[in-house]
Structure 1
Amino acid sequence: MKSTYRKIPFSDVVVKTNKNAYWGRKWNLSDVIYFVVMLTLHLMCLFAPSTFNWKAFWVAAILYVVTGIFGIFLSYHRHLSHSSFKLPKLLEYFFAYCGVQALQGHPIDWVSRHRFHHKFTDTERDPHTPVDGFWFSHINWIFNTEYVIEKVGKRKNVGDLRKQFYYRFIHRTYLLHPLALGILLYKLGVGLSLCGAWE
């Protein structure tokens, strides 16, 4: 993979940008699925201005709070990655399930990557360092599932999660859960049926 090095303006930090982040490597099935899902979601946003309605807006706002704030920030990040506080198991599993719906990966993968990120912050082994470039640290790391293994090895830092049947089950069935939520929202009338352009 070819790299270019450049200095961030008004800073002494040198950033390495991978030129062939998409086309210069072999994609596995997970990479393709993530790419297709993200591309589809962003293409669908082109229809958003002409199909706006308040019901869909509030569903999106609530889902942001549930998946982003409760799922990723509170569960995946503060609770599972850093063990910042304790929760009863039922609440722990509920909040982790909210994170599953955010489409950022299953808890074992996300937590492992984040623990490695803190262990190797801004070094060559950091799985999503900004030193690899803004877009890579922001989102491109999601599309290259093998890259993390190349940098840090297997997920040996999440034994606490692997011991629990719940997290192993979510790992094996990960993509079914966001798909089920999409079908449920569609059946409740919050999906494409609300969009005049689709009727």
Structure 2
Amino acid sequence: MRLGSAGMASPSAAPRDLAAQPVPWFERLLVVLFVVVPFLAVLAAVPFAWGWGLGWRDVAVAAAMYLITGFGVTVGYHRHFTHRSFQADTWLRVVLAIAGGMSLQGPVIRWVADHRRHHKYADREGDPHSPWRFGPGFAGLARGLFHAHVGWLFSPERTSRRRFCPDLLADRPIRFLSHNLTYVPVVLLSIALPALAGGLWGGSWQAALTAGFWGGPVRIFVLHHVTWSINSVCHTFGKEEFSVRDRSRNVRWLAVVSLGEAWHNLHHADPTCARHGVLPGQVDPSARLIWLFERAGWVRDVRWPDPDRIAARRVARSA
């Protein structure tokens, strides 16, 4: 593997970081379906919305589904399960795992294993989705951005769950929700819930159809590409406001729609911090939701930013 920074250390990914068996064919087929079907739905959305089929009810349902599944990824999959930024009651852990699964980004343990491996090898050999995989320059970076954004999803390699997620494998409810057969109802719920909400609200099959379309495949498509942009855009463009050993950057224009995840430079500087947007004006909706959970007594031991740690990692600004 070629990387994009001269002199950067490139330790090989140890074989134990990968599962003994590659990704089974049926799981690779599911990845194709989860990526391609929402994409085709968005292509159909333009003529579909041009004449009919999009109203405020559909927008509201789609926005609600985006927030539910988006927070499931950012607060659940990422900050809680991957980095253990806070402890949560068992019922909330289950809800977050289901909400994250409804994003159609895969079962929680698989997602966490890949992300923990990413942090171990960030922008070095072994990182499953570094945009610098093929080196600098226009051709190398263009190829790398595609790989980081979506290409890596089709890799036959599977990150070892035993290596990276022994804690989650020992958690019976989370292990149960990570089985392929258990994940199927979660996928169906992600598609059926917006249609059900739209149908009950609008009182017609047409209302169910349009809300199901915008709150289902279109919402999944948008959330997929926002999430994948953290892998690609936030490791290529933006500001380095905190000292890190990789290419992670803060990308302001992506921050709100990513629910705070685009403050990615701070996240790599202090991965267990529950808040990623720590500087003035850096909006972080996911951190606010964690704060609300803490106020309700549902979460505890939240790792909020420590001013001294933040100051120590801050990049000195030139005069």
Instruction: Tell me if both proteins adopt one fold, taking TM over 0.5 as the criterion.
Output: yes
Counting aligned pairs with the same residue, the percent is 32
**Which structure 2 residues correspond to residues 63-102 of structure 1 after superposition, within 5 A?**
63-68=65-70, 70-102=71-103
Seen in structure 2, the aligned counterparts of structure 1 residues 118 and 6 have a Cα distance that, compared at 3 Å, is: closer
Q: Quick check: 2:58–2:210 contact (8 Å CA) kept in 1? A: no
1:140: which partner in 2?
151
SS where residue 132 of structure 2 aligns?
Answer: helix
SS where residue 175 of structure 1 aligns?
Answer: helix
Q: Quick check: 2:97–2:177 contact (8 Å CA) kept in 1? A: no
1:165: which partner in 2?
172
Counterpart amino acid of 1:52?
Answer: L
Q: Quick check: 2:73–2:100 contact (8 Å CA) kept in 1? A: yes
TM-score (norm 2): 0.49
Counterpart amino acid of 1:181?
Answer: S
- Flag the structure with larger Rg: 2
Q: Compute the displacement of 1:162 (Å).
A: 0.6
**Which structure 2 residues correspond to residues 1-199 of structure 1 after superposition, within 5 A?**
28-48=25-45, 49-50=49-50, 51-68=53-70, 70-132=71-133, 133-144=144-155, 146-149=156-159, 153=160, 155-172=162-179, 173-188=182-197, 189=199, 191-192=208-209
Report which stretch shifted further, 33-42 or 113-122: 33-42
Runs of 5+ unmatched residues, structure 1? 14-25
Q: Quick check: 1:108–1:161 contact (8 Å CA) kept in 2? A: yes
Q: Quick check: 1:117–1:128 contact (8 Å CA) kept in 2? A: yes
Q: CA RMSD in A?
A: 2.8
Structure 1 Cα separation of the partners of residues 95 and 27 of structure 2:
25
Q: Compute the displacement of 1:29 (Å).
A: 1.4
Q: Compute the displacement of 1:155 (Å).
A: 3.9
Counterpart amino acid of 1:171?
Answer: S
2:264: which partner in 1?
none
Structure 1 Cα separation of the partners of residues 196 and 3 of structure 2:
50
Equivalenced residue count is 173
Q: Quick check: 1:182–1:191 contact (8 Å CA) kept in 2? A: no
Q: Quick check: 1:106–1:170 contact (8 Å CA) kept in 2? A: yes
Seen in structure 2, the aligned counterparts of structure 1 residues 65 and 122 have a Cα distance that, compared at 3 Å, is: same
1:20: which partner in 2?
none
Structure 2 Cα separation of the partners of residues 192 and 136 of structure 1:
34
Counterpart amino acid of 2:57?
Answer: K
SS where residue 74 of structure 2 aligns?
Answer: helix
Q: Quick check: 1:104–1:142 contact (8 Å CA) kept in 2? A: no
Q: Quick check: 1:117–1:127 contact (8 Å CA) kept in 2? A: yes
Q: Quick check: 2:54–2:210 contact (8 Å CA) kept in 1? A: no
Q: Quick check: 2:34–2:104 contact (8 Å CA) kept in 1? A: no
